[in-house]
Amino acid sequence: MCLTYGEANVFSEALMDRSRGPMFASPVVLFVAALAAVMIAAAAVYIVLPALWKLAALLLALIPIAITVLGILSCVSAGKPANITLLWVIIMILAPLFGPLLWFAWGRKNT
């Protein structure tokens, strides 16, 4: 099936006519544009996601270490007796997240 020049001209005039509304007024053009946007977003996620997982794992590993180091430094510099300081350092090493949080919440004031 071939289009004659007159039929093809009708289609091109319809595409060039801006008085009919925006270019995405056609459902087919809107579908193709949405499909392209979804495919580009999926490709971007596929490329970026592995790097983000590695960064998240690194941050989740570094947070307890940083809290433990800060807790130990705070405990050692608090000026408490040696036996209490040693007990708190052992607690912080055995419970790396809970120990320092317990020290900051309760131990600094009450021991």
- pLDDT tens-digit profile of 60-108? 889 989 999 999 999 999 999 999 999 999 999 999 889 999 999 998 8
Is the pTM higher than 0.75? The answer reads: no
Question: Does any domain span residue 69?
Answer: yes
Question: CA of 104: how far to CAs of 38, 72, 109, in Å?
Answer: 48, 10, 8
| Structural domain of 50 | 26-110
Question: Does any domain span residue 19?
Answer: no
Cα gap 67→88, rounded to integer Å? 14
* Number of domains present in the structure of the chain: 1
Question: Does any domain span residue 52?
Answer: yes
Question: CA of 31: how far to CAs of 13, 25, 27, 36, 94, in Å?
Answer: 22, 11, 6, 9, 58
Question: Does any domain span residue 89?
Answer: yes
Question: Does any domain span residue 5?
Answer: no
pLDDT of residue 94: 94
The count of other CB atoms within 10 Å of the CB of residue 16 is 8
